[in-house]
Structure 1
Amino acid sequence: MIVTIDATTGEFGAANAAEMEYLFSEVLRASILGKHFVLLDRVTCDWAMGNLTLGAQYQAHLQLLKQEFTQRGAIRAVAGQILSIKIGGNGLQPVTSQKYEIGHRTLLQGNYLDVAVLLVANTANDGEFLKQILNMTKRNHPIGHFAFVVRHGGGSTIVECFNEELNAQRITICIVDSDRLSPHNFSSTTVRALQASANQNAYVGGIFPTPCREIENFIPLDLIERHRLCPTYPDFQKLKAILQRQDIQDDAHNACWLYFDLKMGLSGPALLAKGLQADIEAWIQQHFTPDSETFNQTNIAGFGTNILRTFLNSNPAMRDYNDFTKTSFWAAVFAPLFEKIAWFLAADKRKAAV
């Protein structure tokens, strides 16, 4: 994340010298280790070099940040997220949707300068897939380097894991399946529980439900078929016919593929028995009923619980996925999610050990 220290030389001079040395050493350490993208203006760098007793490595890095500020400072104008450190004991507070402010004492009491946490339901599958996508995303990002650690949330324990990260005062990004059955507004029990936890205290980060049913819906059908990831799958033709009859040019978010249960498939009778909201049920029936059937006859097979793992294990499929990230469909549906979270993960490249 972009981290700045925003104070006047008078504020620095009036503060406790030992606290300022600790503050600057910790911020510089985060930059040297590549945990965050640190921006310090020339006046701040000059004050620190002239008034603090810092080690040679930190002094050299301050000089580097000062020299690079002319180019790096322009990032602030386009930054999606900034953590601004003020002098004093004020708590953390979001001042805009793109900026947080925090007093230096509050910062140093927490773990905000640790590498950001990307919390997912499953690190082995969801986490690896998101890492691959972020590697593709960073090539066109203004900073071009991300730093984060992926943490396992588990399906039923992700709320507890989220609370642990917030209690530890770490920058935390939680990506969670929306579990939506249609484009209609709907928050799952898990999403509501996460949001309730987030609303209890200020924190740096966010909860990001998928812009589709589950992570698996990020995978386009044509790549599954083209790379023979499920060679015995019986319903390719049925699914393709359903998708092809839908015009999504005006609103990609209505694409029914985004709400198909890739793992378990779709059973018309089972869905009718759920007693869904009328608008959701009507949308599902409209979009998933094959032309030659009624909905209570409809059964579309799923690809199994290992479809994401199978996809990740196919290098050719992953190479083609890079091309998918350049499509207009990706730009409309998935790119906004990664544009938002990328700024929380932005970091300097690691310079050395400290």
Structure 2
Amino acid sequence: MNIDMIRAAAQRLDGHARKTPLLNSPFIDEIAGRRVWVKPECLQHTGSFKFRGGWSALSAMDPDVRARGVIAYSSGNHAQGVAHAATQHGVASVIVMPSDAPALKIANTKALGAEVVLFDRGSEDRDVIGAELAQSRGLTLIKPYDEPQVIAGQGTTGLEIAAQAADVGVHEADVLICCGGGGLTSGIALACEADAPGLRARPVEPEGFDDVARSLVSGQIEKNAKLAGNICDAIITPQPGDITFPIMQRLCGPGLTVTEDEALNAMAHAFLRLKVVAEPGGAVALAAAICRQDNIKGDDVIAVISGGNVDPDIFARGLATLS
């Protein structure tokens, strides 16, 4: 896994993925006590950064292998990214999704052309289900984060951040990243190492599901005790990836955690001040920028909003935090 793969993915994504902007609001700056620059990947195709990795993986496949179809497992955003990329490539996709995923994500994944297979994330193993389906149907598995071409696609977000930060005169800052298995975090970390060494990637997770933060402290992969029970469903994973963790261990600063209420409040600020819609898991980095001021140094901080696929009732809960 290296920067050359990320640059190659950027070439394949050119004309297919959106180059999302870098946004700023003086209102959020005042709350956070420093300038906050927001990278809204919720504006990406399918509503999250995951389209980048899906397209990268599919476009890198041998055409004969790709033609047999692909399979992925996801709580929704990777599902939609792979489904959309597969449909655009004219191939079939099967997506294994947890039954408690937001209804909007399940519906959107089906609408994008995928066959959806639901499972109970508390009692069933999505890896086993995915492997069995892949073998029985001859499908190629696209893992959500521990796959080099997926990481390469997610890393193109970091190439954009590096260039956009330089454009606004930011050369030193923490880059806060909503983190599940670490595909986006490790990809951005590699991109910043190459193009903006003054930018330091830092993973942000929900309290109680901080496997990456604990792994960075202990120096070995730590697992979450549970895999459900938090509204930040998009970034709840069992543990960091075997590929992503060594990259994060080498390049990332300490992890941060936020509460559900802080994520909901960050959603409200994103909507009110930036006019963008974030889902809870996609808002944790912005929440850390706002609520973990003492754990961040410097005059600037960059926060990635990783996704915006939120059900209306959860979004209303977020807006209610400002009432």
TM-score tier, shorter chain, comes to: under 0.3
Q: Scaled by the length of structure 1, what TM-score is found? A: 0.25
Which one has a bigger Cα radius of gyration? 1
Q: Scaled by the length of structure 2, what TM-score is found? A: 0.26
